[in-house]
Amino acid sequence: MSDTYCPIPWIFQAVRANGDIRVCCQANVTKNQGVIRKLDGTAYNAGQDVLEESRNAEMMKNIRLNMLNGVWSEECGRCKKEEENGLVSRRTYENQQWKFTIDEARSKTTSDGTISDVPVIYYDLRFGNFCNLKCRMCGPTDSSAWYDDWIKLTGTNKFKDTSGEVSILEDSKGYYSTEFDWPNHEPFWDQLESNVHNIQHVYFAGGEPMLIERHYDFLERCIDQDVAKNMIIEYNTNMSTLPTRVTKLWESFKQVRVGASIDGMGSMLEYQRYPAKWEKTLRNLEYLDSMPANIIAWLAFTVTAYNVNHMIDFMKWKLVKSGFIKINSTNRRPIITHHVAHNPKHLNIRVLPHQYKQELTEKFYDFLKWVEENKYNNYVQKQAHEIVNGVVSYMNSENYYDSHWQEFVEYTKKLDIIRYESIFYVEPRFKEYINA
């Protein structure tokens, strides 16, 4: 098999929070952010365009041909870097999940990369950017809660998104933007419903999907059309809320997969995912852990410069104190499910000072000794080695300190002032590297 092949460009469609259609979320780290564009440079958008047409845009055809020929496309750079550093890439687990092999891909693809008789069976849908948290590695493109802090942080009511400049407006109810209303475009729903009998898997992110009404509309339509029983639905959710309404709908689906965006315990979670409250989040996690068998869940830990040190204590907490039965209970992922934040670069773990990286490297390898000394089973030990080797290798493989450390310091200090927080309270180790 080609070591660049991934089934995504054949069976999948992804819609950003602003409606722009992209290759997949991993391509967000590229200059073009993976957006599929027309010949005139404008983005295909789910609120305006025919979904099917974007599947054979020039970018998509080129990506398919590259994959079939063992060539890495620019849009696939994140997976390439992760695999080079021993991390488990999305390409790897999509190949594990889907039976759409490279041989089948070849048979369905013409010489110019076009496909015509391959239905979309897997969607990534983000019905706008409405959210109640303003995570430090996030921004207004993915969270409406960021609007006020963005204006204070940058001094402007504008930000760039994949289709150009977005204005933050204000009325008596607060700040808002009209750029994320694409789910109100009814032709999109008609297109989705015409293909609903083929859908096997839908991934929801946001914004925060539990707060977005259109997400509930979709679930109800799937139930009404009697296709929910054949469908896996998957979430990336901040676990700040878990409404009875959604858990009741989940009962009708074949399987529900919940990736809980939990980046630590206590003050660390509350700092990185402000204004999350740990006690409430933990109660929701415990409720999730007690739910029926068709629901599986994991802790989706985003590794940043802020919490990489805390990550070790968090993994110990998961293994020793959490008491979870369902969450991260599989042999493949018995500890946590993590990914490094590639962007923004000033929050990437590669930005950390060299001495701090050395200390962290030692601490991560001490964690491996701790796992062995406590005689955890082979699955735990195997994943512990994967996590440690991947994070350490990635962190030390490049130096962002010279180009982005000052940006990290300025961003952190300014946001701390805006939010009445302190990095030194949640991670005292930074006192040696940042002047108070």
Mean pLDDT of the region 260-285? 98
Domain residue limits at 17:
8-120
Query: Could you tell me the pLDDT band of residue 436, with boundaries at 50, 70 and 90?
Result: low
**Residue 414 in this model has a pLDDT that exceeds 60:** yes
- Residue 278 Rama label (left phi>0; alpha psi -120 to 50; beta): alpha
Mean pLDDT of the region 392-400? 96
67 within some domain: yes
**What is the C-alpha separation between 13 and 19, in angstroms, rounded?**
12
Contacts of 339 (CB under 8 A, 6+ apart): 87, 300, 301, 302, 303
pLDDT reported for residue 88: 84
Is the Cβ–Cβ distance between 250 and 222 less than 8 Å?
no
Q: List the one residue out of 50, 43, 39 whose CA is nearest residue 22.
A: 43
15 within some domain: yes
pLDDT reported for residue 1: 52
**Residue 3 in this model has a pLDDT that exceeds 80:** yes
Mean pLDDT of the region 286-303? 96
53 within some domain: yes
pLDDT reported for residue 29: 84
Per-residue pLDDT reduced to its tens digit, 97-125: 999 999 999 999 999 999 999 999 999 99
266 within some domain: no
57 within some domain: yes
Per-residue pLDDT reduced to its tens digit, 134-155: 999 999 999 999 999 999 999 9
**Number of domains making up the chain:** 1
56 within some domain: yes
